Amino acid sequence: MPLLDEYTGQVPAWCPGCGNFSILKTFKAALVDLGIEPHQLMVVSGIGQAAKFPHYIKCNTFNGLHGRALPVATGLRLANHHLIVAAVTGDGDCYGEGGNHLVHAMRRNVNVKLFVHNNQVYGLTKGQASPTTGEGTVTKNQPFGVFSEQLNPMALAIALDCSFVARGFSGDQDHLKSLIQEAFNHKGFSLVDILQPCISFNKVNTFEWYRERVYHMEADYDPHDRVRAFERALEWGDKIPIGIFYRNSRLIYEERFPMLRESALIRQDLDPGKVSGLLKEFY
Amino acid sequence: MAGEIRQDVCSLRGMDYSIKIGGEAGQGIQTVGDTLSRVFARSGYHVFTHQDYESRVRGGHNFYQVRVSDRPVSASRSRIDILVAFDKESVDLHSVELADPGQIMYDSATLGQQHDGPQFLDIPFTALAVEHGGSRIMANTVATGAILGMLGMEMDIFLHIIRETFHKKGEEIIRQNAAAALAGFDVAIKQCVTCSFSATGRTEPKMLVAGVDAVGLGAVASGCKFYAAYPMTPSTGVMNYLAGKEQEYGIVVEQAEDEISAINMAIGASFAGVRSMTASSGGGFALMVEGLSLAGITETPIVIGLAQRPGPATGLPTRTEQGELQFLISAGHGEFPRVIFAPGDPEQAVRLTHKAFDLAEKYQIPAFVVFDQYLGDSQWTYRQLDLNNLVNTDYRLRADALRDVTGYKRYAYTEGGVSPLAVPGDSRHLVVADSDEHDEEGHIIEEAETRNRMVSKRLYQKIPLIRREIGPPLRYGDEVPDMVLIGWGSTYGLMKEAVDLLSGKMAVAMLHFSELWPFPGTETFDYMTLLRNAGKTICIEQNATGQFARLMKAETGFEVSAGIYKFDGRPFTLEELLGEIHAALG
């Protein structure tokens, strides 16, 4: 059983009071409860405030390019499906720059756990609109307000039959911890969208704004009903549900490759005796 | 001028026939070309093929050219001995290429027109297919049989190939195809009274290998375990080859949603601990460039195949060019080392793909295998390819080796700048990589001193070691030449034959560069002295600006005396190149 202090990483470079701190604390606590040891875990990230996350916990890390965490995570899982692979990104990173990869990662259903720190604004580049910024929100770069419709990650994921779809809130740590654990325990691509205030750049969606609106899904809510889940995903405004919206037990991508059934790809060395056999078909 | 070329080409002795099969996309000209080439190779002849096709699935005008000889051949000729015309356009466009004597074989019922003249041979492909095979689909089988009949070859190998091709479809289908083939063969013998072709005796069977397959073969033999790509002509053949080997050789081939994803997946798989590759053409590679830079700073080994085609942008999608050299050398933001190989034939493609995998992992860098549509689609014959000398060395630290390591750091400073590359999850050591500048452990830094040390580690320490691995250019021809033909990549076979044809008349040699970057030194072969002592140095490239000539000047200060540059998307034929050389000589 790992201890919490085994996960103490670098000193975070986030703004004091950022919602990321409570997500980090909750994430570590969830890992301890799950009994996942640092060397068993690979956290992939892109670029943005959330993407610095893996440096602040102790684990195997690939901190790659903006928007590209999921392709790297996919390659990692196909090469070694015994690794526990998580991707930690922000709303700009994953829903903007990496949108195409998200769509196809959900289609493939690679067993990757995706945690999106969704603060509805670009933090690292200082306050531009993100795909989840509300329509009409005025920023320095959108002086007439945001023209585009706000992206709905829950509805998008359910439409694509994503294997596990949940939303949490950084200010509700016990609930968030249970979602993180459920995601790690689920077999299949898992999206956990985490609502999180940005104290520096988002003056609309503040801690209070979220706290007044979020509520837990009912105890008897059935996350296996896709149509009902889609209806719940459309709820946004005065009331915002958090919890597990949808889950299914689709076959994971790694299990579809016949050659991965026996062992992970990294354990399959080329048999030198089979090399000369490559020439036969050319005669 | 023209007389000289004629003389050059006439000096080719023995059996040397060029067969051009022309028609619309979808008429099966590739099937006929592939089958003929296979029959010739199995008969022990030397074969060279090249393909010319449009970016469409049906219609248009395409051709497949096969050269068959009793001596090694490595280029296409302008002069055609047999033209098989599946459409009217083939007659209109290619009649002028016909040798004297030469034959144009066509089906007047399909073309809707009759041609007079001793060079025309009207063979009812479709009618014979229906009559003997029971289906018009077998018109191609009839045509293939007819070509073999014209050449005076035997049918046993072709009949054997029919059996192999259709063995899953049952005896009846085999019988019908064999009947169609024999019908074409018999009619051609009977009707081709003016045919003067004669094939020399058969020898031991040869391998028939295309450039794209050679790159794929090299990858499998190097222990490539993961390949991600997005389909793009003319690189797709590599993915096709590897997908066919997935099951037997334990390779995961993943079709990514785009090229950005493809290179990032390959980087992820490599970071996990397997040899990984991606490939594309210019446009797709342009999308990969950010990922290339990621491989650079994270020091993740990766092999990238680049099948060039004419640009800019979509350019001529199915044609050939050597237009990406300067792009490739400087692609990727920031400064990091890379190696670039440009094989000249399938044998070199196997060997250099293997070397790319080795150096990528040894120095933890991106390594390129560059070719083009011409080499990718061309087929060459070999008696044998020796794969036994391809030794795979595992440079990674795996479970056993990691057990004795204390305080593992992914980017530890070492004497040669190469840090230990551990497999994550194989031990309790954590493996951390970052696209930001980082410290020895892999965590983000901002300090100037660490930045300086990391740049020094990646560049100044590694580059001299990498440079030592790069082989010199290949000299072929005279040892003290008056004229040197200089080229890189796919022009190898053309230049080689040009040297053969010119060598009786002058002291000529070629310098072929297949290991391009870092630019080869002169330690093992002082090719600079050879160049400086030659009266005429001609750089031959399939691009408009002489990219290699410029690179050589930048790296060595040497300026070639002339350049022959072709950028119409079509490869040189031997006659064309000889004509250009004579023109350059003045």
Window 241-260 of B, Cβ < 8 Å to A: 245-252, 254, 256-258, 260
Residue by residue, pLDDT tens for chain B (586 residues) are: 334 444 444 445 589 999 999 999 888 999 999 999 999 999 999 999 999 999 888 889 999 999 999 999 999 999 999 999 999 999 999 999 999 889 999 999 999 999 999 999 999 999 999 999 999 999 999 999 999 999 999 999 999 999 999 999 999 999 999 999 999 999 999 998 778 898 888 999 999 999 999 999 999 999 999 999 999 999 999 999 999 999 999 999 999 999 999 999 999 999 999 999 999 999 999 999 999 999 999 999 999 999 999 999 999 999 999 999 999 999 999 999 999 999 999 999 999 999 999 999 999 999 999 999 999 999 999 999 999 889 999 999 999 999 989 999 999 999 999 999 999 999 999 999 999 999 999 999 999 999 999 999 999 999 999 999 999 999 999 999 999 999 999 999 999 999 999 999 999 999 999 999 999 999 999 999 999 999 999 999 999 999 999 999 999 999 999 999 999 999 999 999 999 999 999 8
Contact A252, A111 (CB under 8 A): yes
Sign of CA dihedral B261, A255, B220, B319: negative
- Clarify whether residues B465 and B480 are in a common domain: no
Q: How many Å lie between the alpha carbon of A145 and the closest alpha carbon of chain B?
A: 31
Sign of CA dihedral B109, B112, B116, B117: negative
- Clarify whether residues B183 and B318 are in a common domain: no
The backbone torsions φ and ψ at residue B296, rounded to the nearest 5 degrees and listed phi first, read: -60, -55
Contact B577, B540 (CB under 8 A): yes
DSSP annotation of B471 reads P
How far from B292 is each of B80, B160, B263, B289, B368, CA to CA, in Å? 44, 47, 8, 5, 11
Contact A75 B226 (CB under 8 A): yes
The backbone torsions φ and ψ at residue A26, rounded to the nearest 5 degrees and listed phi first, read: -65, -40
3-state SS, residue A241: strand
Domain range for residue B238?
209-382
ipTM confidence score:
0.98
Cβ of B177 under 8 Å from any chain A Cβ?
Answer: no
Distance CA B533, CA B484 (A): 10
Of residues A61, A70, A104, nearest to B442 (C-beta)? A61
Among B190, B196, B188, B187, which Cα is nearest to B81's? B196
Q: Which residue of A has its CA nearest to B261?
A: A71
How far from A23 is each of A29, A102, A236, CA to CA, in Å? 10, 21, 22
- Clarify whether residues B376 and B484 are in a common domain: no
Contact A85, A112 (CB under 8 A): yes
Domain residue spans of chain A:
4-282
Q: Which residue of B has its CA nearest to A12?
A: B444
Contact B424 A60 (CB under 8 A): yes
The backbone torsions φ and ψ at residue B56, rounded to the nearest 5 degrees and listed phi first, read: -160, 155
Contact A101 B208 (CB under 8 A): no
Please say which residue of B382, B414, B446 terminates a domain. Answer: B382
Among B173, B81, B72, B179, which Cα is nearest to B121's? B81
For testing the chain A interface, which of B43, B206, B230, B274 should be mutated: the one with the most A CBs within 10 Å?
B274
Q: How many domains does chain B have?
A: 4
Distance CA A224, CA A229 (A): 8
How far from A227 is each of A161, A220, A235, B109, CA to CA, in Å? 11, 16, 13, 60
How far from B156 is each of B169, B191, B461, B516, CA to CA, in Å? 20, 21, 60, 45
Q: Residue B199 domain-assigned? A: no
The backbone torsions φ and ψ at residue B401, rounded to the nearest 5 degrees and listed phi first, read: -65, -30
Q: How many Å lie between the alpha carbon of B394 and the closest alpha carbon of chain A?
A: 10
Contact B254 A259 (CB under 8 A): no
- Clarify whether residues B372 and B295 are in a common domain: yes
Strands B536-541, B483-488: pairing is parallel
Of residues B220, B273, B424, nearest to A278 (C-beta)? B220
Please say which residue of B469, B503, B527 terminates a domain. Answer: B469
For residue B156, give the CATH number of its domain: 3.40.920.10
Distance CA B460, CA B455 (A): 7
Distance CA B272, CA B275 (A): 9
Of residues B250, B271, B428, nearest to A265 (C-beta)? B250
Contact A102, A94 (CB under 8 A): yes
What architecture (CATH level 2) is domain A4-282? 3-Layer(aba) Sandwich (3.40)
With tokens 């400087």, the residue in question is: B330
Contact B225 A265 (CB under 8 A): yes
Sign of CA dihedral B546, B561, B342, B572: positive
A218-233 b/e with 16+ CB inside 10 Å = b?
A: eeeeebeeeeebbebb
3-state SS, residue B455: helix
* List of chain A residues whose C-beta atoms are within 8 Å of the C-beta of residue B246: 257, 259
- Clarify whether residues B461 and B544 are in a common domain: no
Cβ of B399 under 8 Å from any chain A Cβ?
Answer: no
Share in percent of chain B as helix, strand, coil (round to 5): 40, 20, 35
* List of chain A residues whose C-beta atoms are within 8 Å of the C-beta of residue B434: 55, 61, 63
Among B203, B248, B238, which Cα is nearest to B349's? B238
Cβ of B298 under 8 Å from any chain A Cβ?
Answer: yes
Cβ of B13 under 8 Å from any chain A Cβ?
Answer: no
- Clarify whether residues B433 and B489 are in a common domain: no
Question: DSSP characters for A183-204?
Answer: HHHSSS-EEEEEE---TTT-SS
- Clarify whether residues B173 and B88 are in a common domain: yes
Distance CA A24, CA B337 (A): 36
For residue B315, give the CATH number of its domain: 3.40.50.970
Q: Residue B557 domain-assigned? A: yes
Which tokens go with B222? 């190097």
Q: Residue B2 domain-assigned? A: no
Q: pTM for this structure?
A: 0.96
Q: Residue B33 domain-assigned? A: yes
Distance CA B582, CA B586 (A): 6
With tokens 């199995």, the residue in question is: B42
